[in-house]
Amino acid sequence: MNNQNQNFLDTERWQGRAFFADWQTTAAGVMDVTDPATGAVIVSVGVGGAADIARAATEARAAQKIWAKTLPTERARILSKAADLLEQNGTELIPWIMRESGSIYPKASIEIEHGALFIRHAASLATAPMGMMIPSMDGRANYAKRVPHGIVGVISPFNFPLVLSIRSIAAALAFGNAVVHKPDPRTPISGGIIIARIFEEAGLPKGVLQVVPGGADAGEAMCTDANIAMISFTGSARAGSKVAEIAGKHFKKIQLELGGKNSLIVLDDADLDIAASNSAWGAFLHQGQICMATGLILADEKIAEALTAKLVMKASHLPAGDPSTNQVALGPIISDSQVASIQAIVEDAVAKGAKLLIGGNP
């Protein structure tokens, strides 16, 4: 495959399906994927329920035993080829990320670039030493060896769907695990189909990676399935606490990356133009839908008013709309429910005495 091919994703291969040992229909049926900027249906994909997760985990367990015995150099080769394919087909894949997730072009480009970097890093880890000598008190030699968990369940969010899926998937594969992956149902292409395609084309053995988009019921099934030994979750604190509760009851290893409230501190000797620019970048990148977004600005009272004026001016020059036009700085919020949630926060803040200086209505 090369960068001249503009049908790498090949919708006929996967439309209405999920990725098990091959592209197949799901017991739970199909769902439409919509463009949040226009509301238009982009395509349909297979949606997974509990039965589909059980099927995926069973198939992954059967495939994992052989994959774990595969030479580390071969695992690294397949991962490296997947990274090459992601980069080579970036021109075709970037518009899919833009349409599905509401990303502007630079942000979607970063997903391709950083996604490939995560895969290459994982490839390098595949051939790293897997054992260590442990100090002994009685002169005997103690040796520890790292072994695969078996099946790793990956649950990823909508905001950086490619990057936040691939970083967990690639590392798990590098160390000989199989993966059952549930991308967010709002971004199943960016967070799942693209990843399945690059590994399929790179020669990953069938069944080692299973990609089944789904909702909370599919996620809960992953947390309870006896074949899945570990859950890697990225998303909200509320959903993460539920994952920890359910998976913990089943004695699974759990890795959580949750949301945060990130502060930016501006002192009285700061360059206010730079401070306003950094504040706007931190707060508004991808419409603020990022766990690392600036959620609170703490400014010295001497410069707070001037900084506020500059930030309002910055905000007034950020056009919002359809990213596919390449004429906007901000794309859409991912869903109507998220818009309503943000609107409620604004109205609550104003009711409590906040001043609305610009915007305030979707």
One-character DSSP codes across 248-311: HHTT-EEEEE----EEEEE-TTS-HHHHHHHHHHHHHGGGG-STTSEEEEEE-TTTHHHHHHHH
% of the chain with per-residue pLDDT over 90: 91
What is the spatial order of strands in the sheet that 253-257 belongs to?
Answer: 23-24, 18-19, 209-211, 178-182, 151-155, 230-234, 253-257
> Beta strands of the chain (E only): which ranges?
18-19, 23-24, 30-34, 41-46, 131-134, 142-145, 151-155, 178-182, 209-211, 230-234, 253-257, 262-266, 294-299
Average of pLDDT values for 111-121?
Answer: 98
Would you place residue 140 in the very low, low, confident or very high pLDDT band (cuts 50, 70, 90)?
A: confident
Residue 24 identity (one-letter amino acid): Q
Q: What is the pTM of this model?
A: 0.93
Average of pLDDT values for 127-147?
Answer: 89
Residue 112 has pLDDT above 50, yes or no: yes
Residue 32 β-bridge partners: 44
Please tell me which residue in 200, 291, 301, 347 is annotated as part of the active site.
291
| Residues 104, 330 contacting (CB under 8 angstroms) | yes
Average of pLDDT values for 60-68?
Answer: 97
Per DSSP, the residues of 12-23 read HHHTT-EESSSE
pLDDT of residue 346: 94
Count other C-beta atoms under 10 Å from residue 44's C-beta: 17
Mean pLDDT across the chain: 95
pLDDT of residue 4: 46
**Is 201 one of the annotated active-site residues of the chain?**
no
pLDDT of residue 1: 35
Residue with tokens 């991912």: 334
pLDDT of residue 247: 96
| Residues 83, 120 contacting (CB under 8 angstroms) | yes
Q: What is the dihedral of CA 84, 90, 94, 97, to 10 degrees?
A: -20
**C-alpha to C-alpha distances, 143 to 134, 138, 196, 259, 345, nearest whole angstrom:** 6, 14, 37, 38, 55
Per DSSP, the residues of 159-178 read SSHHHHHHHHHHHHHHTT-E
pLDDT of residue 136: 84
Each residue's pLDDT tens digit, 299-314: 999 999 999 999 999 9
pLDDT of residue 141: 87
Identify the burial level of 2 via C-beta atoms within 10 angstroms of its C-beta, where 0-12 means exposed, 13-18 middle and 19 or more buried.
exposed
| Residues 84, 54 contacting (CB under 8 angstroms) | no
In whole angstroms, give the CA distance from residue 252 to residue 208. Answer: 20
In whole angstroms, give the CA distance from residue 239 to residue 216. Answer: 9
Closest CA to 148 of 192, 180, 179, 123: 179
Residue 3 has pLDDT above 50, yes or no: no
Closest CA to 117 of 50, 161, 162: 162
| Residues 32, 41 contacting (CB under 8 angstroms) | yes
pLDDT of residue 47: 97
Each residue's pLDDT tens digit, 153-204: 999 999 999 999 999 999 999 999 999 999 999 999 999 999 999 999 999 9
Structure tokens, 69: 């015995």
B/e letters for 116-141, b = 16+ CB within 10 Å, e = fewer, are: bbbbbebbebbeeeeeeeeeeeeeee
Average of pLDDT values for 113-121?
Answer: 98
Average of pLDDT values for 134-142?
Answer: 86
**Is 223 one of the annotated active-site residues of the chain?**
no
Would you place residue 5 in the very low, low, confident or very high pLDDT band (cuts 50, 70, 90)?
A: low
Residue 61 has pLDDT above 90, yes or no: yes
Residue 135 has pLDDT above 90, yes or no: no
In 3-state terms, what secondary structure has residue 71?
coil
Residue 310 identity (one-letter amino acid): K
Identify the burial level of 184 via C-beta atoms within 10 angstroms of its C-beta, where 0-12 means exposed, 13-18 middle and 19 or more buried.
buried
State phi, psi for 236 to the nearest 5 degrees: -75, 160
% of the chain with per-residue pLDDT over 70: 99
Residue 2 has pLDDT above 60, yes or no: no
Please tell me which residue in 92, 201, 220, 257 is annotated as part of the active site.
257
